[in-house]
Structure 1
């Protein structure tokens, strides 16, 4: 029968598994479906690339790389992957781990031929998609180049239309025989000869604006020159045009200025729309530039400098007719490229949609198979039996199921040698494993964040399910704020199946979703404590009639005393909210309540240490740690709590006595033992003297008993002839741990072999574990004494400081109530006054101030104050409570599980 492993960690055993090589993969697959074994690495001294299944792992690594490439192309092309149950990267491939034998027998492992087919299909799709993607990317770059070329032509046309006049060369020839043609450009003599900048913000690479020139006749046009020649004041000049990044234009300008020694004329036109750099994938802004200079050498030098800075140089015709031909050619090429690009995109989308439907299954299959081979790389190979040997930790209750499941695999494969599962004795510390569900997992995570419980010690996460939200609610108690928390958490709980399928959740939202049941409980507990406080958004809850009666006929502003007519049915009487001394009463009440809650919490935690000592049969810790610690704490702070309750129960006004101060009583108990200034009860002095004497005796008891008892036990064992280093754990060796006041012991040898019917014939007798079993540390009385001194000092001081630390329950509760009251008075209360005075406009003010009040309530009082109260509750559990019993020196149990593997991306 499977152990629940909630109150204590599961009883773990170290198992050794022999499996034939031909069925090892299938056996590990079944264990992965079961999710109940944590494999140990038997090849720690072997490099990863020298292990047995490194080739299979590399092949699957390559397949995962191909899958990541396909996923990246899908993301670029906007093809979405369907999300099924469990969502995440693996679709619905993740199945809950099962420890039911019949269900495990129905889960057939994936064969190697099926895995080979997956690897082959992924490789074929990756090759096809890569070819199409590279073609598509090349067409996009070609399209961008043509668009920039068209932008240069359009930009130069606009520039020449605004800055130049059409004039023929004096002696020029356009190639058509017409020497008097007006197709040439000349620069106006009024223009500057250095640098001109133009900006066309609305101009982009897709703006055509050139179709009017396409219709121009191209017959008779002369050949396009290498670079344009223009006539400036009767002198022919060369021009270099193109595009460059806007940020680099200033660099180009400075370099050309120094290179050409100022003998140039530059112009710039901004391209409004950004373009994509296909090398980096980032958007960048580019501009059109034109450089005018003298001579072919300077023109070539300008071209080289522009290209070295990543610029694209475009040839600009020197005649209007040749310009129209160039524009027509660019538009034609661009149309052809866009047509081919659309066809390629359509074929690529079809291919990617086929991939999207199978990607989750492929990813799950590859990840699972890779995990299997990674686990098998931890195994040892036994050449004598030609089998693999594995070792790992497993809950004792799952050993039988694992053995039967692996035998079933051997039967289905027709292998005569069935796998052998045997329990191995070891001094290694087993991992800590607590079984959790979706409700308890968040509370267990709160404890594990502080430390993993030692093997087989009591789980602090179990009582934290109640104590954590209750401590939070004491500080946060308000019915309205608790209701907001409850509704938000209820929405997360009801929509958990939908949220779980979301592949990418924000970090903050994922934290809230993971702790949705924590939020639900702290909301419900806050409603309960708010009901006890009679608080609803800082307003009194008049559920029952008040048990305080005011005298009739008093005037407003007059101070009167109310008379108590009875006991309020439950919680605080709401009449205290309107009393002048409400703050004094609330401070006194909540301060004493926090002391009581803190003592009960710490005392309960101290009893858990007794349960641990009894479970591990640590008599020396019971006598030397628990009993003196219990007496010391209860003789001082237990007595203080009793006096608090007694003071509440006595009618001091009826006795016509002033209630004595408990703080002064506690101080005088140590400074003036046996003397009482204001008597609380008869015989108070002698009682306090006896309690103080017991507390003082407990200090040396706590300090000396355990070290002396351990030394006596050690000396006794040496006197009987045993060596200092014993063959197994003993009370003198194991309990003298330098890290804690007790050390968990492993189960006995007979218990370890209870599940192995034929241990004398077990292969474990001939194949020893690959791990060395370190002996217990030698006895060192000095170390034990030093650690006990530290423990004694910490325990005595912590009894004082931890009790005072629980006063944060009172402080935060008071602060929360006062802040809520101030927010109400400054917003909604003022809005009601405005409504009564201003009529319709007052109604508008009420709506606006209500919105302000609600936003501030959620943001400040619920979110910020809730976070603060949660952190304080964490502190009270981690430090004040768990220090009384928690050792926390274990390590987490991480079994080999396909479900954990395939859902880890959503849980993280």
Structure 2
């Protein structure tokens, strides 16, 4: 096992499964594979948090050695600690932001309600509110004692909220509202939400219960608001003090989170490589057979004859680096089985070979048409294209990709060219519709 871990990757053509009758979940190293998958999941969580804040992940191009099996415990502990720390920070930060949002909304309510009460001293508004309350409980025999509730609601729900209050309460409520100029951050989603402050005056417990149920149905946040100006002023001062303290705590929490993610961004690429190498090795070991002593693994591999020396060197290097006293043994076997097809390619010919393999892979020692397609595929493309202008544009695009190859590969974006090509062709196919008649319609008119 240690030798396989330290020998590193080799150009094996095919590795046969020597225990096909054993269920995948019952093989010897299935627990190690699961541990690697769990570590990979934790790293993906950390990577997601790093991308969320826009911290660039350092990719030095380093190809680290595969860790020893005993180092797996240290990696697991490191990833577990990092994940728990980030989750704890996120939970605390979300709770702090929720508290900050509530205090901010309460501050706006106290400020706006004071303006509402100042405006209510206007005799015209008093006559308007008194007229709304005519016919309600208590009649005109005694001075009206109005109750009120104050809260915050999403701005786009205000029209529906106002109509519902008017219909359910039959016009026996008095609503005042004012928009909050700056958007407020939702602590759960992080979106900026525009909200409005409202205050509703009513008389009687029955209307109070109706108003509260309507506010609950529209997800409006209700806050306690004192009745006297002096109490509102004192509460506003206390709220402002708590907001300042909470803002300082939020800044410290965000700084700590940034430091944790900044440190993780420097090594996360190396961690990914180590974990996935370990997972690949344990997956390979699951294809091997274990002898009766339970101490030796036997693997059966198809490989090119020209790579035998490289494989022997890799095994010897793995034995030396692992410190094992028992060397790995490589035997060449004679068999009547048909070997799998192996076509050696490089960076240039691999694209043509992939196109050929898409139509079918030849049998062993069958002639490979890929070398000829290096000429025939571009020629057939030119025959179908037949346009020097468009060909020049594609040549420029291809030249750009060749010159930017290293930078594009460093970004490690999966399937980005397919996405770009689909977007470009979508725009291209819609251009005839935008500019006028399509090509098919023009051809049809010519035939007619």
TM-score norm. by structure 2 comes to: 0.79
Q: How many Å separate the matches in 2 of 1:52 and 1:424?
A: 28
Give 5+ residue unaligned stretches, structure 2: 134-141, 422-427, 433-448
Give yes or no for contact 1:410–1:419 (8 Å, CA) kept in 2.
no
CA distance 1:453–1:327, change in 2 (3 Å)? farther
1:468 aligns to 2:374 (yes or no): no
1:26 aligns to 2:3 (yes or no): yes
Q: How many Å separate the matches in 2 of 1:459 and 1:467?
A: 14
Equivalent residue, structure 2, for 1:120: 77
Give yes or no for contact 1:265–1:292 (8 Å, CA) kept in 2.
yes
Coordinate RMSD, CA, aligned: 3.5
Aligned length: 415
Give 5+ residue unaligned stretches, structure 1: 1-23, 86-91, 95-107, 168-185, 195-232, 513-855, 861-908
1:456 aligns to 2:426 (yes or no): no
SS at match of 1:441: helix
TM-score norm. by structure 1 comes to: 0.42
1:93 aligns to 2:63 (yes or no): yes
Equivalent residue, structure 1, for 2:440: none
Q: How many Å separate the matches in 2 of 1:470 and 1:404?
A: 43
Q: How many Å separate the matches in 2 of 1:48 and 1:189?
A: 82
Q: How many Å separate the matches in 2 of 1:302 and 1:511?
A: 53
Q: How many Å separate the matches in 2 of 1:37 and 1:245?
A: 62
Equivalent residue, structure 2, for 1:637: none
CA distance 1:239–1:387, change in 2 (3 Å)? same
Q: How many Å separate the matches in 2 of 1:122 and 1:249?
A: 47
Per the TM alignment, residue 472 of structure 1 is displaced from its structure 2 partner at its CA by: 2.4
Per the TM alignment, residue 255 of structure 1 is displaced from its structure 2 partner at its CA by: 6.1
1:49 aligns to 2:19 (yes or no): no
SS at match of 1:414: coil
**What CA deviation, in whole Å up to 9, does each residue of 1:677-717 have, x standing for no partner?**
xxxxxxxxxxxxxxxxxxxxxxxxxxxxxxxxxxxxxxxxx
Q: Which has the higher contact order (CA 8 A, sep 6+)?
A: 2
Per the TM alignment, residue 335 of structure 1 is displaced from its structure 2 partner at its CA by: 0.8
Matches for 1:417-816 after TM superposition, within 5 Å: 418-423=328-333, 425=335, 427=337, 430-477=339-386, 481-504=390-413, 507-508=416-417
In the alignment, which of 320, 323, 330 is matched to residue 232 of structure 2?
323
SS at match of 2:303: strand
Q: How many Å separate the matches in 1 of 2:167 and 2:20?
A: 65
Equivalent residue, structure 2, for 1:149: 106
**What CA deviation, in whole Å up to 9, does each residue of 1:832-864 have, x standing for no partner?**
xxxxxxxxxxxxxxxxxxxxxxxx9xx99xxxx
Q: How many Å separate the matches in 2 of 1:353 and 1:241?
A: 43
Larger radius of gyration between Structure 1 and Structure 2: 1
CA distance 1:486–1:337, change in 2 (3 Å)? same
Equivalent residue, structure 2, for 1:239: 148
Per the TM alignment, residue 40 of structure 1 is displaced from its structure 2 partner at its CA by: 3.4
**What CA deviation, in whole Å up to 9, does each residue of 1:585-632 have, x standing for no partner?**
xxxxxxxxxxxxxxxxxxxxxxxxxxxxxxxxxxxxxxxxxxxxxxxx
Matches for 1:865-884 after TM superposition, within 5 Å: none
Give yes or no for contact 1:115–1:365 (8 Å, CA) kept in 2.
no
Q: How many Å separate the matches in 2 of 1:270 and 1:456?
A: 78
**What CA deviation, in whole Å up to 9, does each residue of 1:65-121 have, x standing for no partner?**
222222222223332212333xxxxxx338xxxxxxxxxxxxx64322333332222
Give yes or no for contact 2:18–2:287 (8 Å, CA) kept in 1.
yes
CA distance 1:395–1:151, change in 2 (3 Å)? farther
**What CA deviation, in whole Å up to 9, does each residue of 1:514-535 have, x standing for no partner?**
xxxxxxxxxxxxxxxxxxxxxx
In the alignment, which of 317, 335, 360 is matched to residue 244 of structure 2?
335
SS at match of 2:147: strand
**What CA deviation, in whole Å up to 9, does each residue of 1:475-506 have, x standing for no partner?**
44555554443333222212211222123377
Q: How many Å separate the matches in 1 of 2:163 and 2:18?
A: 66
SS at match of 1:360: helix
